[in-house]
Amino acid sequence: MRLTVIGCGDAFGSGGRLQSTFLLEIGDRKVLLECGATASIGLTRAGVDANAIDTILISHLHGDHFAGVVWMILSAQYLLKRTTPLRVVGPPGIAARYEIIAEALFPGMTKVERRFDLTFDEITPARPFADADLQVAAVEVSHPSGAPSYALRIEGGGHTVGFSGDTEWVDALVQVADGADLFITECCAVDRAAKFHLNWRTIEQNLPRLVARRIMLTHMNPDMLAFAPTIASDRILIAADGMRFEV
C-alpha cells in the first residue's frame, strides 16, 4: 500500500496546508481517505487522475474531511467526464448530508443526470465495509459532527493503516493502531487542551499503548507545526502535503 498525503491541514488552513485528504494506492486501486474541501485542488496539484479513484472513505461529516466530495463530483461530471462508478463510504446519514451541502453550494447539481454511478455506503462499527481488495472497520470516537464520528482501520494489499479521524483521546484508538503498519493521528496542538481533539502530550503519554510500526501526525495547528520537527523520528512522522511513501 502506498500513501500520498494530499492534504494534512486543520480546518483553518494552518501552515498553508490543504485540508485532510490522503490517497491510498493498493495495487492498481486508488482510494481516497478523507475528502476535505480542498481535495480537488490537492489531487490536481499532485498530478492524480481523480477519475481513477473508485472509493472515498470518510471518517466524519465535518467540512474539512468531507466537503470535497461536492467538488469531486462536480469536476467528475463537468471537467473530467467520468464514466466509471464512484463509491463514497462514511457515517450514517452521509447521503442526506451530501445532498444538503451540494444543493446549498451548487443548486440543482444533485438533480443533473450523471454519466457515472454514484453510491453512498454507510459504515458503522457493526457493519464494516469490504470489497475485493479492501477492508474498512469503523470505531466510534468522541467528536460531535451531527452524525457518529469514526476512527477507521483500513486493510489492503497485506498492509494496515489506522486513522484516528478527529477525536479527543478514547481508549478505542489503541485497537485502531494495534499492529498497524501506520497509525495516522490528528494532533491539533502541542499541549493546549482543544476540546474533542488530541494534543501531542496526550499522544506522547499513550505512545507505549499505540503499537503501530509508525505513527504519522496530521491536522496540526500553528504551534504544533512549529514544534513538530523536534519530535520527528523514524517512528514519528510529521505529515506534509505531497509526502509519498510505502506503508
Question: Which residues here bind Zn ion, judged by CB under 5 A?
Answer: 11, 62, 64, 166
Q: How far is the CB of 38 from Zn ion (least distance, A)?
A: 12
- Closest CB to Zn ion among residues 29, 65: 65
Name the grid cell of 220.
Answer: 496540526
- Closest CB to Zn ion among residues 75, 221: 221
- Closest CB to Zn ion among residues 11, 231: 11
Q: How far is the CB of 218 from Zn ion (least distance, A)?
A: 9
Q: How far is the CB of 114 from Zn ion (least distance, A)?
A: 28
Q: How far is the CB of 113 from Zn ion (least distance, A)?
A: 33
DSSP for 2-54, please give it: EEEEEE-B-TT-GGGPPBSEEEEEETTEEEEE---TTHHHHHHHTT--GGGEE
Q: What are phi and psi of 173, to 5 degrees?
A: -65, -25
Element (H, E) at 226: helix 222-227
Name the grid cell of 165.
Answer: 479521524
Q: How far is the CB of 73 from Zn ion (least distance, A)?
A: 21
CB 143 within 8 A of CB 38: no
- Closest CB to Zn ion among residues 62, 159: 62
| Bridge pairing between strands 244-246 and 236-238 | unpaired
- Closest CB to Zn ion among residues 62, 97: 62
Q: Rounded to an integer, what distance in angstroms lies between the CA atom of residue 56 and that of residue 138?
A: 14
Q: How far is the CB of 219 from Zn ion (least distance, A)?
A: 6
Q: What are phi and psi of 241, to 5 degrees?
A: -60, 130
- Closest CB to Zn ion among residues 21, 25: 21
Q: Rounded to an integer, what distance in angstroms lies between the CA atom of residue 86 and that of residue 54?
A: 5
